[in-house]
Structure 1
Amino acid sequence: MPSIRFSALTASVPADITFGMGCLFLRCIVIISAWLFLHSPLFAADTFRVACYNVENYLDEKTGTRPLKTDAAKAKIRESICALKPDVIALEEMGSTNALLELQGSLKSEGLDLPYWEHVAGFDTNIHVAVLSKFPFTAHHPHTNDAFLLNGRRFQVSRGFAEVDIQPTTNYSFTLIAAHLKSRRQIAAADESELRLEEAKVLREIIDARLAANPNLNLIVLGDFNDLHDSAPIKTILGGRSKKGLIDTRPAERNGDDHSHTDRRVASRNITWTHFYAKEDTYSRVDYILLSHGIAREWNTNESYVLSIPNWGTGSDHRPLVASFTAQDK
């Protein structure tokens, strides 16, 4: 059998040994290639999970009236996120990029690696919208300077909007838009509900533009919208029953309730609240995961829920929610 030579270094090696070295070399290449493929971010399971969590002032230094996040609160945030096992998570009330990277590193040390990140710096310099992802971003479209007129005055969208295109597999991608609308706290400049409605209108314009360009777009719009489902801001974002309208996933607690109940009056009593508002001593649903008709076909309804764990309030005044999807267009 003729000698198979891979370099000048094998010229004096007997043919059978050289052939064996070549086979070993090729075998190693196959093994390494397979390992890289299986561990590539583009190789994923059939499903992926998208979560949303207002982490309440996740700051690495005190800013104004916003306190430094305690170690106990950070630990509960990590516990909550790890319990959800998200592949992508949108975060509200995130501090600086340093705070985001600290959280990312802490999650990785506890077994949840989300190597890709987006941090949007809007008009509010204290808290921000951010995204952590297991999958790569194929495009970034941060919205940092959107503005509107209210009663003759010009205002900016306070926290901006994060918009990224994400690719869970080589054959499937979706667009994610994360938002944190004006809180229900009054300010001197304008009525808080009117400000929130105007921010919702700006967000809806972005949604309309994306769906006009691609009516079948796989689009997820999520975040802390700071209002109830029948309010004007939420109705504005949902967009009605048109083809551009969004679908409210309305996740509920996993507490033993029968979420498949056929009586809608009973099913509507599932526990869905996501936020405790101390000023009013109320629990309400103000955090949402909304879907375009395109991605709603891939939504796994039985795997979408609001996380309920002991001492949840140690971490934040919000509870996180998650939705699951099949990574295949239907």
Structure 2
Amino acid sequence: MKKLLYVVLCCLLMGSCAQKVRIPTQSIGQVNTTPIVKPSNYIYPTDSSFKIISWNVEHFVDLHDDPYINNGREDNPPENTNLRTSLLLKALRMADADIVVLQEFESAKFLKQLAQDSLPNMGYLYFGDTPSLNWYMNVVVMSRFPLGLMTGYGLATTPLPGFVNEQGKAETQNNINSRMWSVDVFPSENYSFLLTGVHLKAGRSDRDIAMRKGQIALLTETFNRYLAENPRKNMLLAGDHNATPESEEIAMLTKGNTLKNHFVDTIDPTVFSHPSNAPRRRLDYILVNENMNKEILDEGAKVVQFFSPDTMRIVSDHLPVVARFLKEDKLR
């Protein structure tokens, strides 16, 4: 017994009785694979192009009361909610878009349930939002293509240019920044873009304009960070901007001297989107940056109507905007 204990002790001290463990030379935390990859069971569609639709669907709520949101319309949905839902689903089938961005929609959870129940064969697999903690109108996305990192802006505070409070300090706000987000979209193995969905501050007062300018300033800073990493980054900005094509706010995106790669509005400025039954102004956009503008098809984005004006008004006071793109970077 003493001899056996002696042998064991020698083995432990000399390390000769056990297989040595080889420590990898790779640094701790280093990963040898691409950080973001497609889901293992996902097969990209073979189409050479993809379509996106953006639509403000006007206070679109489900039939369930969210106990954490205190609002009469959310607490007691309108009597025509089922009709509106039926028409919206019919319009989405007609649009057959690969990516859907909805504004003033209650939640991605609601949209996912609608897709599972009523659009099961349309291939929508990915859903996202950055919902407000105290409001029920959010911006949501539904996609056939894998999504990547989603950046929410709801916690950020933005300036109100030209406004000061009673103490003479520059005013700020962060009540509505949750109605903006950015997410990477991967339509193919070799093509991706940054999709930003927005519902900018409504209203025509100087204060409303200042709030929109503050929101756009935050987006511009974010876009410039992406462009610093990759000057060829494709970017698409979709949603209700609550500003007309000739406004200062849109000019910040299309002509401003702070954005490193300007956005392009490919819709004729005389084409309107609001109100849906008798359009007199355009508030709705699918803007693309100069990089991605080279892939847009059909001579640009379009304002569309799926039904008669009166029926479109049942769904929403806004008309939707659609655009189609190649799934590959054209020579630049």
Contact 1:114/1:133 (8 A) holds in 2: yes
For these two proteins, the number of residue pairs brought into alignment is: 269
Q: Are the structure 2 counterparts of residues 94 and 326 from structure 1 closer, same or farther at C-alpha, using a change threshold of 3 Å?
A: same
Per the alignment, residue 27 of structure 2 pairs with none
Per the alignment, residue 274 of structure 1 pairs with 273
Instruction: Indicate which of 83, 93, 100 corresponds to 2:94.
Output: 83
Deviation at 1:213, TM superposition (A): 2.3
Asked if 1:156 corresponds to 2:174, the answer is yes
Q: How does 1:98-117 map to 2 (within 5 A)?
A: 98-109=109-120, 111-117=121-127
SS at match of 1:249: coil
Per the alignment, residue 187 of structure 2 pairs with 168
Deviation at 1:108, TM superposition (A): 1.6
Instruction: Indicate which of 152, 156, 177 corresponds to 1:142.
Output: 152
Instruction: Indicate which of 180, 198, 207 corresponds to 1:191.
Output: 207
TM-score by length of 1: 0.73
Deviation at 1:137, TM superposition (A): 0.9
Structure 2 gaps of 5+ residues are: 1-40, 165-169
Instruction: Indicate which of 289, 293, 297 corresponds to 2:294.
Output: 297
Q: How does 1:193-232 map to 2 (within 5 A)?
A: 193-232=209-248
Q: Are the structure 2 counterparts of residues 300 and 157 from structure 1 closer, same or farther at C-alpha, using a change threshold of 3 Å?
A: farther
Q: Which deviates further from its counterpart, 232-241 or 41-50? A: 232-241
Q: Can you list the C-alpha shifts for 1:74-103, whole angstroms capped at 9, x where unaligned?
A: 112112222211101111111134322233
Whole-angstrom distance in 2 between the partners of 1:185 and 1:94 = 22
Per the alignment, residue 264 of structure 2 pairs with 247
Whole-angstrom distance in 2 between the partners of 1:275 and 1:138 = 32
Q: Are the structure 2 counterparts of residues 55 and 183 from structure 1 closer, same or farther at C-alpha, using a change threshold of 3 Å?
A: same
Structure 1 gaps of 5+ residues are: 1-38, 253-267
- Indicate the structure (1 or 2) with the bigger Cα radius of gyration: 2
Q: Are the structure 2 counterparts of residues 90 and 120 from structure 1 closer, same or farther at C-alpha, using a change threshold of 3 Å?
A: same
Deviation at 1:106, TM superposition (A): 4.2
Asked if 1:313 corresponds to 2:313, the answer is yes
SS at match of 2:73: coil
Instruction: Indicate which of 230, 233, 236 corresponds to 2:252.
Output: 236
Q: Are the structure 2 counterparts of residues 181 and 115 from structure 1 closer, same or farther at C-alpha, using a change threshold of 3 Å?
A: same
TM-score by length of 2: 0.73
Q: Can you list the C-alpha shifts for 1:271-328, whole angstroms capped at 9, x where unaligned?
A: x2112189xx862110111111211111103474222122111111111111000101
Whole-angstrom distance in 1 between the partners of 2:54 and 2:200 = 14
Q: Can you list the C-alpha shifts for 1:211-269, whole angstroms capped at 9, x where unaligned?
A: 2322211111111101101111111122448751111121x7xxxxxxxxxxxxxxx65
Instruction: Indicate which of 113, 118, 121 corresponds to 2:131.
Output: 121
SS at match of 1:52: strand
Q: Which deviates further from its counterpart, 53-62 or 217-226? A: 53-62
Q: Which deviates further from its counterpart, 296-305 or 133-142? A: 296-305
SS at match of 2:119: helix
Identity %, equivalent residues: 25
- Residue 153 of structure 1 aligns with an amino acid whose one-letter code is E
Per the alignment, residue 38 of structure 2 pairs with none
